[in-house]
Amino acid sequence: MANDTLKKIGEVLLRAENVLLFPHTNADGDAAGSCQALALALESKGVKCRILMEDKLAANLQFLDSGLFTWDNDIFGKEFDIAIAVDSGEVSRFPKREEVFHRGRTAVCIDHHPTSKPFADYNYIDPEAAATGEIIFDLIGEMGVKVDEKIAQALFTAITTDCGNFQYSNTTKRTFEIAAALTDSGFSLSETSNAIYQNNPVERIKIETRILETMEMIAGGKVAMAYVTKDMLAETGALMEHTEGLINILRGIAGVEVAVFLKEGDEGKVKVSMRSKSYANVSELCSSHGGGGHVRASGCTLEMPMGEALSLMRKEVPGVL
């Protein structure tokens, strides 16, 4: 099924009375920033919008919250006009809100994950986009909304966080062009970057130390793997959100191609994150375990204890090299 045009999707959205936006679980800068930008744009045209969350907004993204984020599944009642999945190409990316998603009379999906399949009434999935924020920028243009300071700040957040602040291979000429266009709207680049990147609670540094103690090198140093358990969090007073991005330390080691980071979750589940540096495709291995993502950044959830998950990864990850 081919993509619908952004023009068409813009028309559908602008005809709506109310729109509920669905970022994926543990919304990252792209999911939260894209939702905030699109919600602000639609609100400026008189469409009532809320961004429905199932977990807390990360501390370093709190500045995005101007009151449009909600944790109330019944915010629009039993039915509403449009449910839109943003940066999430399948309903399993927002498991605790799936039932609410289906209350929308029309479903829309805007995403950039290559493993996503069109599942909504209107879909726009562009794996070439470095961030969903790039697509939202184009959509906002199609809707004839001027990108103001707040919208630009949200879109910049989406883009900088998903392309590793313009370092990853997904960064394109278009990424820079959009970022350049955003700087025209007057938001502060340094204040926004400080809020996102220079804002670590001390507990993060404590948990980072503990996690790095678990690090093991596999496949002759081409794979670095580490993990975090709930006990480790309790001992350091850190929250799981404080481990966000630590996988990049593992990938940053000389000679490492694949970094693997395992987080102990609820009910015997382990959330696995994988990153690759220059050639390995980690999305296939994650897909084979029911997850997905990008060639260089993917994830999946394993239903087994941490010890077993680590053994499985030791066995399977060298195969992606």
**Per rule CB under 6 A, is residue 297 in the interface with ligand 5GP?**
yes
Find the binding residues for Mn ion in span 78-107 (CB under 5 A): 87
Report what 210 binds from Mn ion, ligand 5GP, none; CB cut-off 5-8 Å by kind: none
Find the binding residues for ligand 5GP in span 222-281 (CB under 6 A): 273
DSSP label at 168?
S
Find the binding residues for Mn ion in span 114-173 (CB under 5 A): 132, 162
Report what 297 binds from Mn ion, ligand 5GP, none; CB cut-off 5-8 Å by kind: ligand 5GP
CB of 234 to ligand 5GP, least distance (A): 22
CB of 11 to ligand 5GP, least distance (A): 28
How far lies 12's CA from each of 17, 72, 117, 120, 121, in Å?
10, 24, 20, 13, 11
> Do residues 226 and 214 touch, judged by C-beta distance below 8 A?
yes
Closest CA to 84 of 100, 67, 63: 100
For residue 145 the two structure tokens come to 């909304």
Q: Which residues contact 105 (CB under 8 A, 6 or more apart)?
A: 79, 80, 81, 82
Which string of x and - marks every residue 13-42 that binds Mn ion (by CB under 5 A)? -----------------x------------
**Per rule CB under 6 A, is residue 294 in the interface with ligand 5GP?**
yes
For residue 223 the two structure tokens come to 């794979």
Nearer residue to ligand 5GP within complex by CB, 25 or 153:
25
Piece in contact with ligand 5GP (CB under 6 A), picked from 75-83, 97-105, 202-210, 293-301: 293-301
> Do residues 228 and 262 touch, judged by C-beta distance below 8 A?
yes
